[in-house]
């Protein structure tokens, strides 16, 4: 691949945006390659967690291709559909962690929002400055951001286009944790290792309950939670969890 680095080991898949000279900006090639990687990850049962990061000094600073020259609606829809990198990431059923090693701006922040957990470097800046360029987010930013930080903070960031540092991002819940640049990868690896020890079916169902439940009433969400719980009772992993508890040992989950 020209725009991504990818490897998986011991249940952990690392996807690294690899266009450092452009601030890891998204172009069609990157979007196409990321779609292919996401498809591969979804079909690989050995992968239990996905880590997304960038190479160089930035996580992702937005888009490279210019859509201002597109004057037909059908062409614009096709342009945007082919570049919905956040949508590709959001479709992964397994836990996805954004390791924000540097600035995450515009479309870059939209990709981070599509991940389940966000760790950020203390040097990182985050924001959606599209409004200052006469544009707006188009890959889920206006929908995911309010669900994560609440309506007030999302409105602030989206309508002013202001960029915040990682400490403020932590304060409003945009990221869950920050670490110094020299400790970020180490902390990300610790988190990934923890997730790989957990029951993969349970983590997948928990993620489904969280994401789908946000669009349901409380009663509907509770029913979904119960249904998924009942399905879990039939798995070998659930039996292993009970046995390991009774035997006072660490469980060994296989995803069965």
Query: pLDDT tens-digit profile of 190-234?
Result: 999 999 998 888 999 999 999 999 999 999 999 999 999 898 888
CB contact set of 23 (below 8 Å; sequence gap of 6+): 56, 57, 58, 60, 61, 62, 103
pLDDT in tens, 40-68: 999 999 999 999 999 999 999 999 865 65
Domain match, 230 and 124 both: no
In a domain, 55, yes or no: yes
Mean pLDDT on 111-122? 98
pLDDT at 14 over 60: yes
In a domain, 48, yes or no: yes
pLDDT band for 20, please (50, 70, 90 cuts). very high
pLDDT at 76 over 70: no
pLDDT band for 236, please (50, 70, 90 cuts). confident
pLDDT band for 22, please (50, 70, 90 cuts). very high
Domain match, 161 and 41 both: yes
pLDDT at residue 66 in the model: 59
Give this prediction's pTM. Answer: 0.90
pLDDT at residue 71 in the model: 57
Secondary structure of 175-216 in HEC code, one letter for each residue: CCEEECHHHHHHHHHHHHHHHHCCCHHHHHHHHHHHHHHCCC
The total of structural domains in the chain comes to 2
pLDDT at residue 249 in the model: 67
Domain match, 31 and 122 both: yes
In a domain, 254, yes or no: no
Which residue shows structure tokens 């889920």?
Answer: 140
Domain match, 189 and 222 both: no
Cβ atoms of residues 256 and 236 within 8 Å = yes
Domain match, 175 and 213 both: no
In a domain, 252, yes or no: no
Domain match, 118 and 176 both: yes
Reduce the DSSP state of residue 14 to 3 states and report it: strand
Domain match, 160 and 213 both: no
pLDDT at 256 over 80: no
Domain match, 230 and 105 both: no
Mean pLDDT on 83-112? 96
Domain match, 122 and 225 both: no
Which residue shows structure tokens 């937005």?
Answer: 62
Mean pLDDT of all residues belonging to the chain? 91
pLDDT at residue 68 in the model: 57
Domain match, 204 and 100 both: no
pLDDT at residue 75 in the model: 66
Domain match, 119 and 148 both: yes
Element (H, E) at 77: helix 73-81
**CATH code at 176?**
3.90.226.10
The residue segments making up the domain with residue 205 are: 200-246
Domain match, 47 and 170 both: yes
Of all residues in the chain, the percent with pLDDT exceeding 70 is 91
Reduce the DSSP state of residue 250 to 3 states and report it: coil
Mean pLDDT on 142-159? 97
Determine the Cα–Cα distance for residues 143 and 113; give it in Å rounded to an integer: 10
Mean pLDDT on 85-101? 96
């Amino acid at each position: 691949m020209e725009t991504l680095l990818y490897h998986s080991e011991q249940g952990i898949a690392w996807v690294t945006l690899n266009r450092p000279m452009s601030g890891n900006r998204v172009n069609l090639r990157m979007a196409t390659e990321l779609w292919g990687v996401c498809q591969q990850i979804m079909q690989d049962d050995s992968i239990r967690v996905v880590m997304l990061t960038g190479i160089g000094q930035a996580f992702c600073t937005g888009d490279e291709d210019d859509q201002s020259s597109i004057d037909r609606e059908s062409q614009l829809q096709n342009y945007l559909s082919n570049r919905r990198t956040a949508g590709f990431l959001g479709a992964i059923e397994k836990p996805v962690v954004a390791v924000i090693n540097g600035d995450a701006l515009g479309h870059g922040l939209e990709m981070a929002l599509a991940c389940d957990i966000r760790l950020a470097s203390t040097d990182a800046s985050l924001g959606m400055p599209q409004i200052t360029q006469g544009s707006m987010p188009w890959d889920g930013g206006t929908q995911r951001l309010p669900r994560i930080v609440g309506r007030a903070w999302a409105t602030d960031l989206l309508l002013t286009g202001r960029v915040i540092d990682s400490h403020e991002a932590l304060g409003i819940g945009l990221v869950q944790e920050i670490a110094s640049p020299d400790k970020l990868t180490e902390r990300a690896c610790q988190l990934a290792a923890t997730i790989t020890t957990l029951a993969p079916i349970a983590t997948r169902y928990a993620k489904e309950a969280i994401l789908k439940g946000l669009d349901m009433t409380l009663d509907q969400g509770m029913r979904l939670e119960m249904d998924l719980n009942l399905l879990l009772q039939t798995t070998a992993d659930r039996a292993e969890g009970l046995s390991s508890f009774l035997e006072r040992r660490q469980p060994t989950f296989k995803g069965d």
